Amino acid sequence: MPQSGHNASSNLPTPFQGMGARGVNNLASKLLLALFPPNSSFFRLNVPELAIQAISGGDEKAKTEIEKTLGAIERDVQTEVESSALRVSAFEALKQLICCGNVLVYLPQEGGMKVYRMDRYVIRRDPMGEPLELLIKESVSPQVLPSEVREAIKKSPEQKGDPRQTVDLYTWIIRNNDTLHVHQEVEDIIIPGTSGTLPIDVSPWLPLRWAKIDSEDYGRGHVEEYLGDLRSLEGLMQAIVEGSAAAAKMIFLVNPNGTTKASTISEAPNCAVRAGKADDVTVLQANKFADFKTAQEVITMIQQRLAQAFLLMESVTRQAERVTAEEIRRMAGELEDALGGVYSILTQEFQLPLVRRLMFQMENDGKLPELPKDLVKPSIVTGVEALGRGHDLNRLIMFFNILQQTFGPGGMNAINTSVATTQLANALSLDIEGLVKTEDQMAQEQQMAQRQQLMQQIAPEAIRAAKEQGQQQQEQQVQ
């Protein structure tokens, strides 16, 4: 977030290192792919099993139709996410969360997503962290306001008739039980048509936090937790860069009492032959190599810590001659597990409200049928859920490997392949409907294989018996 008073004509300070920017972009990209995986739904619509049985009456076909309908709705909502280009704004929101710890996301009825920085809104929460009051400030052109509002603000002494001049538009949202009351105003004039109410569970305003702090209105950012390392790295890099520039400067010193003149050295071209004495000329040196080496070692240590904090790739690969792929996967998994708390809060404050808002918009636009809110509820399948499934997958693979190593190839005969296939697919978040054969299909194929094998065994005997019978009949006819 720029400093107060920053505008398009002012310049921001340029740091001496890019470790922070690279770490923020890398962490935001990984979070974006984890929360909103491309070409894959990040949520599921769940209906209680008892409700499905009551609706379907125990009919398996009706149950299958219900599941297919929910799957189609999930795909429609995912298509809306892809077509609305929400990931572009979500990436900016994640960077704001990492750096500042707070950001406000707005989902208008027309689609898309708008991001507000901390200097554009204020919020008040209850002791449990639920938003109570929200005030947003925007600078807009008077041309986008209704005509009666434009006429009213023209009388203001602050407006001088410049069409490029902007006015401050304030949006006020306050919670009353489970309802949000909203209105917009400009210079204490309420804009007609902006006052209204809406349910809190489909609010288009999503105030996000990186870390939840009880009894505080705002959260804390990831950068704030590692601010000491970032500032130390900046100071050391500045010292190294400025010191290296000073050390790279080459100055020749000539003994004023010697026989060699300064002009002889300065005017001599390359590979020239001049009369002089080598002891009269020296090169000025800083002799700070040992100090630079110490600073460089500290910089390397700080960079390693920051790489781990921002999940950079160099923090995963150990500095050694031989590093196995399993070691890299394990270290990467440990670093991903460190974001479990971040996934949890983003699931509750970002993903779930986003799904509810999108479904509400699509129902109002007639793109989705109206679903019973008390039965159909979305659940997130990425973030913490994905971490849990990843651990399940690792345990399954470890179990199979230990079973095979302990009992040999015959140990796998104790595994129920259908159950194992289902658990592996769930751990990988794969939809195996129509992909994996059912037990009935496998039983039918096994019966057909047994019949074919039996036919292959019986056929030669039947042909030989038929031949013998035919020969006997021919012999009887001859006799």
pLDDT, tens only, 431-466: 556 666 666 777 777 788 777 777 777 767 666 776
429 or 102: which leads in pLDDT: 102
- pLDDT at 161 exceeding the cut of 90: no
Residues in the chain, how many?
Answer: 479
- pLDDT at 159 exceeding the cut of 70: no
Kindly state the helix (H) or strand (E) to which residue 182 belongs, with its residue range.
strand 179-186
- pLDDT at 190 exceeding the cut of 80: yes
pLDDT category at 336 given cuts 50, 70, 90 is: low
At 441, list the tokens.
């299909």
Distance in angstroms (rounded) separating the CA atoms of residues 253 and 52: 92
> Tokens 């710890």 map to which residue?
101
User: Of the ranges 289-298, 370-379, 433-442, which is most confident?
Assistant: 289-298
Roughly how many angstroms between the first and final C-alpha of the chain, as a whole number? Answer: 113
Kindly state the helix (H) or strand (E) to which residue 399 belongs, with its residue range.
helix 384-407
- pLDDT at 84 exceeding the cut of 80: yes
Q: For 336-359, what is the mean pLDDT?
A: 82
Distance in angstroms (rounded) separating the CA atoms of residues 137 and 124: 15
Residue 42: other Cβ atoms inside 10 A: 23
Q: For 24-48, what is the mean pLDDT?
A: 83
How far apart, in Å, are the Cα atoms of 44 and each of 189, 367, 378, 410, 440? 44, 18, 6, 39, 28
Nearest C-alpha neighbor of 73 from the set 400, 378, 436:
378
Percent of the chain with pLDDT over 70: 80
Distance in angstroms (rounded) separating the CA atoms of residues 447 and 67: 31
Answer yes or no: are the C-beta atoms of 113 and 86 closer than 8 Å.
Answer: yes
Q: For 371-399, what is the mean pLDDT?
A: 69
Residues 6 or more apart whose Cβ sits within 8 Å of residue 252: 265, 266, 281, 282, 283, 284
* Main-chain phi, psi angles of 379, to 5 degrees: -135, 145
389 or 170: which leads in pLDDT: 170
Nearest C-alpha neighbor of 240 from the set 301, 284, 296:
296
pLDDT at 42: 82
pLDDT, tens only, 391-419: 556 666 777 777 677 767 666 666 777 66
Q: What three-state secondary structure class fits 145?
A: coil
pLDDT category at 61 given cuts 50, 70, 90 is: confident
Rg (CA), the chain: 36
Helix ranges, 12-118 (H): 19-35, 49-56, 60-83, 86-100
Instruction: Please provide the average confidence, as pLDDT, over all residues in the chain.
Output: 81
pLDDT at 465: 72
pLDDT at 171: 94
Answer yes or no: are the C-beta atoms of 58 and 132 closer than 8 Å.
Answer: no
- pLDDT at 280 exceeding the cut of 50: yes
pLDDT at 316: 56
338 or 358: which leads in pLDDT: 358
pLDDT category at 372 given cuts 50, 70, 90 is: confident
30 or 336: which leads in pLDDT: 30
Q: For 202-212, what is the mean pLDDT?
A: 92
pLDDT, tens only, 388-398: 455 556 666 77
How far apart, in Å, are the Cα atoms of 320 and each of 231, 298, 299, 323? 29, 20, 20, 6
Q: What three-state secondary structure class fits 392?
A: helix
- pLDDT at 284 exceeding the cut of 60: yes
Q: For 131-138, what is the mean pLDDT?
A: 94
Q: For 231-247, what is the mean pLDDT?
A: 92
Cβ burial 433-454 (10 Å sphere, 16+ → b, else e): eeeeeeeeeeeeeeeeeeeeee
pLDDT at 328: 46
328 or 198: which leads in pLDDT: 198
Q: For 7-19, what is the mean pLDDT?
A: 84
415 or 193: which leads in pLDDT: 193
